[in-house]
Amino acid sequence: MTMTASQALRAPRIPEGSRARAAAFFDLDGTLIPGSAAVPLARAAFRAGMVTPPELVRDLRHGVSFLLQGANDERSEAVRDRILTAVTGRTTEEMVALSEGFIPDLVASITPAMNRVLGEHAAAGRDRIVVSASPTEIVSRVAAAAGLERGTGTTSELDADGRYTGRLDGPFCYGAGKAEVLRALAAEQGYDLSASYAYSDSLSDLPMLEAVGHPVAVNPEPDLRDLAEERGWPIVETSRVPRVSVSDPHSWVRMGQRLTVASIGSLIALGTRPIEALGGIDGDSEDDAPTGGDPDGSAAAAA
């Protein structure tokens, strides 16, 4: 059921007197931000001489594919392996330096809908945690720059001199590995996962979504959209352009229908609210009429 960002926060309140400590876990690529953090990282690595021109072109092509279709196991593993290879023998300071130029842009690209979700979780007293397949050095800095409580990702092994070995130190923070990282963090910080939230755009994050009591699909790729609808999970739209599956004609039909509705709505709005109608394709409005959730459309975050 599609709903506004605030409606997705509706859930049974934790019983009075409960000591449960809830958190909200967020995927990064395609969930908090429209695209992939691997793209600006690849550009920065190329400028630093850590990535070859063919690898840069491949990463940019994958970034476009991700924007339209979502995550892919093979591509995600390939990006992981290239990062591990590129940083071997280098220091964490060099990795952090790569991010100096693009972290502010990543934070600025957090969609309006998800900024509202982040704000409501903060108001409810929940820690907000970014969990991503990207390097922990990048994810933690994105979270800090966005004012969130934590950020964690894929952690690379360091040798005695503080240089990357080219191996992982812990699980690849993707798929089942992301759920493993989430559970370890919950155990460390004392989060009650049954009272916690998880947000993702990709079916690859199903283990993470199933690990919490309140999973939410965000502008989901086709397979996750179908599953969310089947299970009655909230769906938050952050873009008027849905993901499509090249092999599934139904998803192309769905995209055509949504683009048509959006175009008609914009034409109507131009007659009365031209500034709002020209506001861009990303984000939603708290005043949008919901197609699911409570009929009054009021925003009520769980405590």
The yes-or-no verdict on residue 277 having pLDDT over 50 is: no
Distances (CA, A) of 26 to 64, 198, 288: 21, 6, 23
Tokens of 181: 């990282």
- pTM of the entire predicted model: 0.70
Sheet holding 197-200, edge to edge: 2-3, 235-236, 214-218, 197-200, 23-26, 127-135, 150-154
Catalytic pick among 27, 59, 205, 284: 27
Higher pLDDT, 232 or 75: 232
- Is residue 248 very low, low, confident or very high in pLDDT (cuts 50, 70, 90)? very low
Maximum alpha-carbon separation in the chain: 66
Neighbouring C-beta atoms of residue 289, cutoff 10 Å: 7
163-188: per-residue pLDDT in tens? 989 888 999 999 999 999 999 999 99
CA 122 to chain centre: 17
The yes-or-no verdict on residue 145 having pLDDT over 90 is: yes
Residue 194: predicted pLDDT = 96
Residue 93: predicted pLDDT = 87
43-64: per-residue pLDDT in tens? 766 676 666 666 655 665 554 5
90-135: per-residue pLDDT in tens? 888 888 887 888 899 999 999 999 999 999 999 999 999 999 988 8
What does the mean pLDDT of the chain come to? 73
Specify whether 29 is catalytic: yes
Specify whether 105 is catalytic: no
Residue 279: predicted pLDDT = 31
Residue 98: predicted pLDDT = 79
The yes-or-no verdict on residue 259 having pLDDT over 50 is: no
Q: 251 CB contacts (<8 Å, ≥6 apart)?
A: 222, 242, 243, 244, 245
Q: What domains appear along the chain, each with residue ranges and CATH number?
A: 19-238 (3.40.50.1000)
Q: Minimal CA–CA distance to 203: which of 71, 34, 27?
A: 71
β-strand partners of 127? 23
Write the DSSP string, 228-271.
Answer: HHHHT--EE--BSS----TT-HHHHHHHHHHHHHHHHHHHHHHT
